[in-house]
Structure 1
Amino acid sequence: MTVVVLICLIFTGAGFYFFKVACVPGHKSFLSSSSKVLKKSDPLYKQKKWFKQVDKEKWYMQSADDKYRLDANYIPSKNSHKTAIILPGYMNVKEDMGKYDALFHELGYNTLTPDPRAQGKSQGKYIGYGWVEKADIKKWINRVLAKNGPNQQIVVFGVSMGRATTMMVSGLQLPKQVKAFVEDCGYTSVKDEIEHEAGVLYNMPAFPRFPLVEILSGINRVKVGYFLKDGSSINQLHKNHRPMLFIHGGNDTFVPTKMVYRNYRATKGPKQLWIAPKSKHAHSYEDHPAAYKAHVSQFLAQYIK
């Protein structure tokens, strides 16, 4: 009996450890840090330089559950009736998305780029992997309409966790002004991604990955409000009938490329898929800037005029 109790305590302690690693904001050793020094050799130098120099409006909003103040950059495009809502990835901040702000500005869009709750300057205790944040994004959509009027046409765009958030948002009841979605390298579900990372980062076999992920899921339910399996991009995509462009790096090992095919099959609306040749996770734009812009521009031109 004592041995059983000891084993349970060990697994529970390990579950809390992995919850902290995965869901509590802070430095993550498994994430590669990108240089903040802008170099002319950067393939997106022009876009990043533009973002550093352009004036940004500060927008603030209470989260959908009224617990936290959220922080966003808004960059207007003169007399535009089109707005792109740009969603950062895991432990990214709105400033990391400047190259995408520039991309959409070049295409004639206003851009609204919020820090997700618990990231950047937005308040929050835990990372919700898009499942919690999806309600915040719906509220940001309504904020854009309140500010810019009912004639706005909106696209929701996200990278990595922001991409999963985009897909999860797509399954909500949304204003008619949301015309399309663009997602870049998102996962099929929170549970799938955490199980994958447990195997890759810790070389963890099926046991003890099970039951550790299940224990983490239970902790997440108590602290964040949902079981990991509930955070499903695929289930939300089953409810989506709006157009969606799927982008994924051909050599993505952080969010495996194979996940995009399941997501692509799940959505019910008009759709396109582009696999960026040889690109790793969230590097498709840097590796193929002209092709990336062309795919986004040509897809959205069909639905946003």
Structure 2
Amino acid sequence: MKKRIIWIFGLITGIVGGIASLIGYLITSRIIYIKKKDDHFILEREKKALRYDENWYTNVCKENISVHSPNGYIIKGIYFMPLDTVNTMIVCHGVTENKVNSIKYVRLFERLGFNTIVYDHRRHGETGGKTTSYGYYEKFDLQAVLHYLKKRLAKEAIVGVHGESMGAATTLLYAGTLEDEADFYIADCPYSDFSEELYYLLTKQTPFKTAFAIKLANLFLRLRDGYWLKNIAPRTAVTNIQKPVLFIHSLPDDFILPGMTIELYQLKKGPKMLKLFEQGEHAQSFNKNPQEYEETVRTFLHEYVLNKDQNTGDPKNR
């Protein structure tokens, strides 16, 4: 009888363990191999929305760049140089997007006096990498792109980083955990803690509606991709950022809640600015409020970054 009980207990334990392992595997597969938007779809979407001007793209001064990632692959990007200036932005796109989605910001920063680098995150677009890590490995790629840029530019160059969604979280993780080497940052709709964001999305979009699912995801992310969820928490990084940060979010965003950006703004010490737009779903602040967005960035730059007598450059191509 005793042996039978032990056998039944072992069988139940094995079944429960197997189910838990399966759930952990399925959740993490959905995370690290998230389905990306088709590159052609992104291009056509941006053309249709008039955010991608083929004539401008053909004629603008630009250069394809390749940067070696410390994670073991090549980062692919484009360095747009429409202006005669050393001041340059780096733009980090969101998850499932690619560098074409960032070109709308190239035009924005051209008007504000900056050249711009756009690049594909790991496992997106033309860049290598097997998994998406929501800022953990991506922050090292951003560091590599920034080092590449600084080697090319004069010391007096002003360099900023703009990130959208996952790109915003990547920006804050870079500046708060690796090095605060850019002159300023713009974080558009970041999450403050990926574990909380993941729990919110799992309960909203999947049958896994318990905290146990997050614990399983945490363990399996460590086993499969080498990091813990606590390593993707911009709220712990933002307190270390000394340079100015502009935080942006749209109040209707129900994918990453605006409260996360408000929290990050409150935690940030030193120079900072917060803008909450009344219109726009997730990562749509610029698309829905282009003029107000541009004026917000302009105000931030003039208040915290640019010297009043600084020459921001003359256009080579319009």
Alpha-carbon separation, structure 2, partners of 1:73 and 1:104: 15
Alpha-carbon spacing, 1:28–1:87, altered in 2? closer, same or farther (3 Å) = closer
In structure 2, the residue matched to 1:100 is 105
| 2:192 paired residue among 188, 191, 197 | 188
In structure 2, the residue matched to 1:130 is 135
Q: Whose helix proportion is higher, 1 or 2?
A: 2
Structure 1 position 201 matched with structure 2 position 201? no
Q: Contact (CA 8 Å) 2:93, 2:121: kept in 1 or not?
A: yes
Deviation at 1:198?
A: 0.2
Alpha-carbon separation, structure 2, partners of 1:173 and 1:132: 12
Deviation at 1:128?
A: 1.3
- SS of 1:121's equivalent? coil
Deviations 1:23-69 (A, max 9, x none): 1153479xxx76815567x4xx2x4216643353111111123x111
Deviations 1:87-114 (A, max 9, x none): 0100110011111111111111111111
Deviations 1:207-229 (A, max 9, x none): xx322221111121122221012
- Structure 1 alignment gaps of length 5 or more: none
- Structure 2 alignment gaps of length 5 or more: 1-8, 308-318
Q: Match of 1:12, as an amino acid?
A: S
- SS of 1:258's equivalent? helix
Aligned-residue sequence identity (percent) comes to: 25
- SS of 1:36's equivalent? helix
In structure 2, the residue matched to 1:254 is 255
Q: How does 1:97-176 map to 2 (within 5 A)?
A: 97-172=102-177, 174=179, 176=181
Deviation at 1:173?
A: 5.0
Deviation at 1:204?
A: 4.0
- SS of 1:237's equivalent? helix
Structure 1 position 304 matched with structure 2 position 306? yes
Deviation at 1:260?
A: 1.1
Alpha-carbon separation, structure 1, partners of 2:96 and 2:252: 21
In structure 2, the residue matched to 1:62 is 68
Q: Match of 1:171, as an amino acid?
A: G
Aligned length, in residue pairs = 293
In structure 2, the residue matched to 1:273 is 274
Alpha-carbon separation, structure 2, partners of 1:116 and 1:126: 10
Q: Match of 1:161, as an amino acid?
A: M
In structure 1, the residue matched to 2:44 is 36
User: Which runs of 4 or more aligned residues in structure 1 lie more than 6 Å from their structure 2 counterparts after TM superposition?
Assistant: none
Alpha-carbon spacing, 1:104–1:179, altered in 2? closer, same or farther (3 Å) = same
Deviations 1:211-259 (A, max 9, x none): 2221111121122221012211011101111110110011111101111
Alpha-carbon separation, structure 2, partners of 1:113 and 1:164: 16
| 2:18 paired residue among 5, 9, 33 | 9
- SS of 1:111's equivalent? strand
